Amino acid sequence: MPKSNANLALKGLDEMFSTEESRQEQKREQVQQIPIEELFPFKEHPFKVLDDEAMQRTVESVAQYGVLAPLIARPRPEGGYEIISGHRRQHAAELAGLDTLPVIVREMTDDAAVILMVDSNLQRENILPSERAFAYKMKLEALKNQGARSDLTSCQVGTKFRADESLAEDTGESARNVQRFIRLTNLIPELLDLVDEKKISFNPAVELSYLDEAQQRDFLQAMDETQNAPSLSQAQRMKKLAQEEKFTYEAAFAIMGEAKKDELDKVVIKNDTLKKYFPRSYTPRQMEDVIIKLLEQWQRRQQRQNER
């Protein structure tokens, strides 16, 4: 046998008898130490990285033990790596003064990267409504893109339905609630911040999302001037006015200036008024107890007078 043929035969035997373990080892993703300045945030990343108390605890942990769970990133065409999972760890490492981070580098399409980025962040305990809204929107678009490519003969409505159902199943939400969260992405930033701060409730916020930008700004001014948060019924009425092309600032101001039913059922006495009649050492609970006793005495006197 010629020498060249013998070499080819031996090479073929090596490949044939190489172990499955060695082949898997070659395929397995390796953790690399990547310089922190080569890591960039995911484009339009919807999750906020805040310098809050939780971040401070993460910084202290990273400073003591390092980053234990590797980030996931993908190469950028312009150089460096785009973070898919691990934005908070990257920020904590930066604050802790680390030079490199453990990273799994993975080649991924845009849609696959969006889905992994959203899924990895939705595992967090505390997620703001705005974060959930934009995350759902991004993942829904990615799922629709994947569905369109895998089933080119399906109609657009069918593809959209499957994407909605798939997202709902992944998140544990109903398809309707997923769409309601996505509606919040139509709010102007100032209103969306108020939703995150719990100054506007979720259900009224969904109704307000049907107002256009100018109408939302008029509503925001009316809300500020009346110092009232919208109820669901008030938001629904403003949405209806917008749909009928009858929405004006004056209409929004009139609606927001209305007394709500729960406010009509309340009697509010300001602390400054009460303090005139009580020692400074009295707590609100003690003042309440005294007021209740006095009212009970007054009620008994009224009953005795009625019985005469």
Predicted pLDDT of residue 270: 63
Is the confidence at residue 293, as pLDDT, over 60? yes
In DSSP terms, which residues pair with 39 in a beta bridge? 81
Q: Using 50, 70 and 90 to split pLDDT, how confident is the model at 258?
A: confident
Predicted pLDDT of residue 159: 46
Predicted pLDDT of residue 62: 94
| Cα 65 from Cα 59, distance rounded (Å) | 10
CATH of domain 33-108: 3.90.1530.30
Least confident among 144-153, 242-251, 268-277, 294-303: 144-153
Mean pLDDT for the stretch of residues 236-254: 96
Predicted pLDDT of residue 181: 95
Length of the chain: 308
Predicted pLDDT of residue 151: 44
Q: Which residue has the higher pLDDT, 45 or 155?
A: 45
Mean pLDDT for the stretch of residues 98-102: 95
pLDDT in tens, 160-185: 446 777 787 777 778 889 999 999 99
Predicted pLDDT of residue 157: 45
Predicted pLDDT of residue 121: 87
DSSP 146-211: HHHHH-TTS-HHHHHHHHHHHHHHHHTS-HHHHHHHHHGGGS-HHHHHHHHTTSS-HHHHHHHTTS
| Cα 168 from Cα 302, distance rounded (Å) | 61
Percent residues over pLDDT 70 in the chain: 81
Q: Where are the domains of the chain?
A: 33-108, 187-257
Is the confidence at residue 132, as pLDDT, over 70? yes
Amino acid at 178: V
Predicted pLDDT of residue 117: 94
Mean pLDDT for the chain overall: 83
Percent residues over pLDDT 90 in the chain: 56
